[in-house]
Amino acid sequence: GVFQLSDKQYVCGGNFCIRKKILFDVKGFNPDGFSRDKMHLRGDGEIGLLKKMHKKNYRILYNNNAFVQHMISEERISLPYVKKRFSNEGISASFTAARKYGGSRLCILSDAVITMFRLIFYQTQKTLIGGPRRIKSEVFSHYLWSRFKHDFRIIADSNLRGHVVKNNFLDN
């Protein structure tokens, strides 16, 4: 069936469509995929777009009968790839938090300190345990380390801070 999503529910962009008028009204997607050398410009993509749509009270629907066959390479189901994806998600989380704080360096710093303590916990856990929980800790450590580094990059770089809080990614 078709379900309306609440402001706490999101979908990924693998099978995503939006009316052009709405896309322009909310000023487009926040930035997403970038080459490795420009990864610091990464944002929260479709999640950010959906947040902007929720803010303007647009209905967001999910159709669980929609079907997409998504072919992925074997490399994308490897542990190194999952770690890389989690690192990218750490950057996206940093972007989202910095936007929420309006680019406030003090708020971003307090978030970074919490992230650092979480990272220490997961790094310690990774060292002490084995099996699937160790892998989870290892992967999540990549997320936290990437987020921590990106938080500090936003704090230190006023141009990046300006990019993060930008409201319109449709215009240059």
For residue 140, pLDDT over 70 is answered with: yes
**85: burial class by Cβ within 10 Å (0-12, 13-18, 19+)?**
middle
The confidence score (pLDDT) of residue 30 equals 87
User: Assign residue 27 a region: left if phi > 0, alpha if psi is -120 to 50, beta otherwise?
Assistant: left
pLDDT one-digit tens code per residue, 9-63: 887 777 788 899 999 999 988 888 788 888 899 999 888 999 999 999 999 988 8
Those residues with Cβ within 8 angstroms of residue 69's Cβ, 6 or more apart along the chain or in another chain: none
pLDDT digits (tens, 9 = 90+) for 84-137: 999 999 999 999 999 999 999 999 999 999 999 999 999 998 889 888 889 999
Task: Determine the pLDDT at residue 99.
Answer: 94
- Which residues lie across from 62 on neighbouring strands? 3
Q: If pLDDT is split at 50, 70 and 90, which confidence band does 64 have?
A: confident
What gap in Å lies between CA 134 and CA 137, rounded to an integer? 5
For residue 2, pLDDT over 70 is answered with yes
Placement of tokens 């066959």 in the chain: 69
Calculate mean pLDDT across residues 155-169: 94
Q: What is the pLDDT of residue 70?
A: 80
31 beta partners: none
CA distances from 155 to 32, 78, 119, 121 (A): 20, 33, 19, 24
CA distance 22 to 60: 11
